[in-house]
Amino acid sequence: MAAPRKYPLELRERAVRMYRTAEPKPQIKRLAIDLGVHPEALRGWIRQAEADHGERDDRLTTVEKEELATLRRENAQLKRANEILRTASAFFASELDPTRRRS
């Protein structure tokens, strides 16, 4: 289960909207202090919003991050299933081996 968010989503959205619509662009540190959030948190939110709007190529979008997390969970589940099947296959192969001595 994911950890609870320190800042509500409404605050994040409002802070990013304030930064993106302000002219001239305010200093992130000053805006963060005004809003009562950590400057690096605000900087990360802004970068993520820029990636989501196609303005940055160095980060995954939110949709891509969610898809990646889903695929990683699915991959882990399939690996567990394959290991179970491999173990069961080895067990049944040893049971059907005619050269195996039965006691």
Q: Which residue has the tokens 């968010």?
A: 5
**What are the pLDDT digits (tens) for 75-90?**
999 999 999 999 999 9
What residues have CB less than 8 Å from 42, skipping those under 6 apart? 15, 19, 28, 31, 32, 35
pTM, two decimal places? 0.71
Residue 74 has pLDDT above 70, yes or no: yes
Give the pLDDT confidence of 27-47 residue by residue, as tens digits.
Answer: 999 999 999 999 999 999 999
Given this model, what pLDDT does residue 82 score? 98
